[in-house]
Structure 1
Amino acid sequence: MLKNLLHMEGMAVLLISIYFYAVSDFSWVLFFVLLLAPDLSMLGYLKHNQFGAVIYNVFHTYVFPIVLVLVGISLLLPTLLAIGLIWFAHIGIDRSVGYGLKYPTAFKDTHLQRV
């Protein structure tokens, strides 16, 4: 039950991000180019699992997209707002399909499930 709620939460974040991105009339090319960019953080696993988990988790929490969206809105910087919304969408996709934050034991060990 709780896992399903987290999946639905991820889907809600994804849909809300896409909605605000669309009504802001941002570039869809930019959206699709950057959508998977946070997954580059997986390269941290080339060093070792613990380092990889830390780097991956930094790029898969809502903290930095929130900052980008707030700065983009407050300073009228639409590019930062667009990047923040894309980042939210990426995290929403991950959560909706069951990819969560990583434990340092292995890449497949997440807070939502073992993938």
Structure 2
Amino acid sequence: MKLILKLEELAMWILSILLLYFAKAEWWWYALMFLGPDVSMLGYLVNNKVGAWSYNLFHHKGVAAVLIIAGIIIVDNNIFSDLIWIGYLGLMLFGHSSMDRFFGYGLKYENGFKFTHLGKIGKSAKDE
């Protein structure tokens, strides 16, 4: 991945960390950001199609944005104020997706884990 794209993803990762901080999220949201969404890889135990679908659901920035917006609406309108975690969840997913893309892991294609929208990942990708 080009350096400029990596820097962009790094900036979004840092932004999500700062937004969690300013939103006064508990410490465990930061820990969850690093590995939490990767539980979606369990879909690959079924097959590549289910794996790609579940992985992409948990790593799609559009899903994260919807959750962030829902969290803002809920908090601003004092609707179920105990649901502030929805916005935190969105920030965590957004940050994790940015972190993954910074390290070269993109959304998955159905033909296998190492086939992503950023290109093929792994040792064999460098050899080709």
TM-score, normalized by the shorter chain, greater than 0.5? yes
Please state how far the C-alpha of 1:113 moved relative to its aligned partner: 2.5
Superposition deviation, residue 37 in structure 1: 1.6
Moved more, 87-96 or 68-77: 68-77
**8 Å Cα contact 1:3/1:112 also seen in 2:** no
TM-score by length of 1: 0.88
Gaps (5+ residues) in structure 1? Answer: none
Pairing of 1:1-115 with structure 2 (within 5 A): 3-76=2-75, 77-115=83-121
Aligned-pair identity (%): 39
Larger Rg: 2
Q: Which has the higher strand share?
A: 2
Structure with larger RCO (C-alpha < 8 A, sep 6+): 1
**Which consecutive segments of 4 or more residues in structure 1 shift more than 4 A?**
none
CA distance in 1: counterparts of 2:34 and 2:89, whole angstroms: 9
2:27 partner amino acid: W
After TM superposition, the score normalised by the length of structure 2 is 0.80
Q: CA deviation at 1:13?
A: 1.3
How many aligned residue pairs are there?
114
CA offset at residue 3 of structure 1?
3.3
Q: Which runs of 5+ in 2 are unaligned?
A: 76-82, 122-128
